[in-house]
Amino acid sequence: MQALLQVFQNEWLGLYRNKLLIGSFLLLVFILSLTAWMGVKKQDQLQVQTKTANDFARNEWESIGPMNPHSAAHEGTYAYYSPGLMSSLDEGVLSQVGRVLRLEGHVQNEMAYSARSQESIYSRFGGLMPSLLLQWVVPLLLIFLSFRSIYQEKEQGRITLLLSQGLGIKQILVGKALAYFSIACIALLSTVLVQFIFLEFNHSNDVFRLIGFVISYLLFYWLIVSLTIVLSTVLKNATGALSSMLAIWVLWMVLLPKWTASIASEKYPLPSRFEFKQAMKDDRSKGIDGHNPSKDRVNKLRDSVLAKYGVSSDSALPINLDGIVMQADEEYGNLVWDKHIGGVFQSFSSQKKLSQWASVFNPMYALKSASMSFAGTDMLHHIHFQREAEEYRRGFIKKLNDEHAYGGSKTGDWSWKSSEEFFKNIETFQYTTVEISKYKSYWQVDLLILLVWSISISVLMCLISKKYLL
C-alpha cells in the first residue's frame, strides 16, 4: 500500500511539474464547472418555461366558460414535458423530441415542436453540456496524460530503478493508473459539486440518479486510463500508443454508435408514418365512430342501454346516449392506439437493448446510455411521459363523456352546456420524473458492461506487466 502511494505521489509530482498540463487541467475543471452551472441555468429556464406553459394551458381550460362537454373535449388542453433536475448534466434526446402534447377527444396526438424543428443545426453533437465534455474531452485528456507514462519509464530505464527500490510491477502500473484516474475524479466531482450547490436535491430519486451517473463515468474513466497504460506498456513507442488510443476513441465515439444505430434500425424497423396512420385508421374503422357510428355496433350498445333503463326510445332515456357512444368509441380507439403505438415503443425498446449489447464492443455506448438514463433524458423517460399523459387524457375525456351522458342532457341535445365549475373541477395534469428503479433492467446492463470492461482491462494490465516490462 505504501509503495502504491509512493508511485501515486511521484506521478502527481511529475504532472505538477508540467505547467502546461496543470494549466490545461485547471482550465478544463473551470470550463466543466462553468458548463455545469450553465446546465443548471438552462434547467431553471426549462422549469420556468414549462410552468408558465402549464399555467397558461390551465388558465385557458378554466376560462372556457359554460360549454357542451363534447365541445370541451375538442377544445382539449396541453401537457408540457419538463425533464428532471439531472437533465442539467446530459440533455440526451431533449432537443430531438417535442415537449408539447395536445390532449383532446377522439385522437392521441404525438409530441410536437421539437427544438430541432425550430432552429438550424448549431452543433452536430449537442449543446455544451457537462456530458459533452465528460464524454468527449475528459477521455482525450486522460489519453494525452497517460500514453507515455510507461513508455517513458522504459525509455529512460527507470523501471529497473523502481523495482530495485522494492516496488512491484503491478504496483507501478496500478499506482500510475490511479494517479491519472484521480485527475478524472476531480474533473467529474467539480461538475457534480456545482449540481449540489445550485440544484435542490429534495428527492432521493435525484440523489440515486446522481450516484449512478458518477459511478458510470468513474468506471469508464478507469477503463480509459488502464487501457492507455496497457497500450503504453505493450507498444514499442509512445506515438503508437497515442495513435492506437485515438483510433479507438474515434471508433467508439463516432463510428460504432452510428453503425450500431443502422443495424438496430434495420433489425427492428419502425413503420413509416404513412403505414402507421393507415393501420390505425383501418383498425379504427372496424370499430364504432363517435360521430359516425357504425350502425350495428351502435344499435347493440343502444339496445343494451334502453334495456337497462327499461325504455323503448332514445328520447325516453333519462340520460344522453351520445355520451355513452362516444366513450365506447374512445375506449375502442384506446385499444387501437395501445396496439400500434405499443408496437412502436416495443421496437424502440428492442433497438435500445440491441444497442446496449452491442456496447460489449463499445463501452462508450454503455456510458452514453447510462448517462442519459440517469439524467432522465433517454427515450424511455420520454416514452414514460407520453404514457402518463395518455393515461391522464383517457380519464379527462371519460369525465367529459360521462358528463355528456349523465350530466342532465338528453340524447341528441348538442346545445346543452356544463357549468364552468364542472370544468374547473377537473384536475390538472401533474408529472414527476419516474423513479430510476423503473428502468433498472436497462441501466444495470450498461453498468454491468462498464464494470466487466474495467475489470477485464485491469486484469489484462496486471497479466501483461511482467511479460513486457521485465
Return the sign of the alpha-carbon dihedral for residues 411, 417, 422, 428: positive
Per CB under 8 A, the list member of 209, 382, 393, 404 interacting with other proteins is 382
139 or 175, CB closer to other proteins? 139
- The nearest distance, CB 92 to other proteins, in angstroms, is 7
Q: Under the criterion CB under 8 A, does residue 261 sit at the interface with other proteins?
A: yes
Residue type (1 letter), 76: G
* 9 sits near other proteins (criterion: CB under 8 A): no
Q: Residue 251 or residue 460: which is nearer to other proteins going by CB? A: 251
Look up residue 252 and give its DSSP letter.
I
Measured CA to CA, the distance from residue 423 to residue 66 in angstroms comes to 8
Site for other proteins in 280-299 (CB under 8 A): 292, 294
Nearer to other proteins, 66 or 408 (CB): 66
Site residues for other proteins, 122-151, by CB under 8 A, read 122-129, 132, 136-137, 140, 144, 148
Q: In the range 355-374, which residues lie near other proteins by CB under 8 A?
A: 355, 369, 372
Under the binding rule (CB under 8 A), the answer on residue 416 touching other proteins is no
Q: Is 175 in the site for other proteins (CB under 8 A)?
A: no
Sign of CA dihedral 406, 411, 412, 413: negative
Integer Cα distance of 177 and 52 in angstroms: 49
Q: Does 351 bind other proteins (CB under 8 A)?
A: yes
Binding-site member from 119, 296, 421, 427 for other proteins (CB under 8 A): 119
Residues in 61-80 at the binding interface with other proteins, rule: CB under 8 A: 78, 80
Question: Which residues, in sequence order, are CB contacts of 445 under 8 Å at separation 6+?
Answer: 353, 356, 357, 366
Minimum gap (Å) between residue 247 Cβ and other proteins? 8
The span from the CA of 141 to the CA of 160, in Å, is 28
Task: Choose which of 9, 52, 312, 432 interacts with other proteins (CB under 8 A).
Answer: 52
Instruction: Pick out residues in 264-283 that bind other proteins (CB under 8 A).
Output: 264-265, 270-274, 276, 278
Task: Using CB under 8 A, pick the residue from 2, 17, 19, 118 that binds other proteins.
Answer: 118
- Establish if 19 lies at the interface with other proteins (CB under 8 A): no
Q: Which residues lie below 8 Å from residue 59, measured CB to CB, with a gap of 6+? A: none
Site for other proteins in 32-51 (CB under 8 A): 38, 41-42, 45-46, 49-50
Of residues 119 and 200, the one with the C-beta less far from other proteins: 119
C-alpha cell at 92: 440526451
Separation between Cα atoms, residue 313 and residue 414, nearest integer Å: 18
Is there binding between residue 255 and other proteins (CB under 8 A)?
Answer: yes
Distance in Å, CB of 232 to other proteins, minimum: 13
Neighbouring-strand partners of residue 103: 77, 108
Contacts by 355-359 with C-beta closer than 8 Å and gap 24+? Answer: 355/260, 355/261, 355/264, 356/442, 356/445, 356/446, 356/449, 357/445, 358/256, 358/260, 358/263, 358/264, 359/260, 359/446, 359/449
Query: Which CB, 4 or 38, lies closer to other proteins?
Result: 38
Nearest partner of 182 among 35, 32, 25, 37, judged by Cα: 25
Q: Does residue 155 bind other proteins (CB under 8 A)?
A: no
Q: For other proteins, give the closer residue by CB, 126 or 287.
A: 126
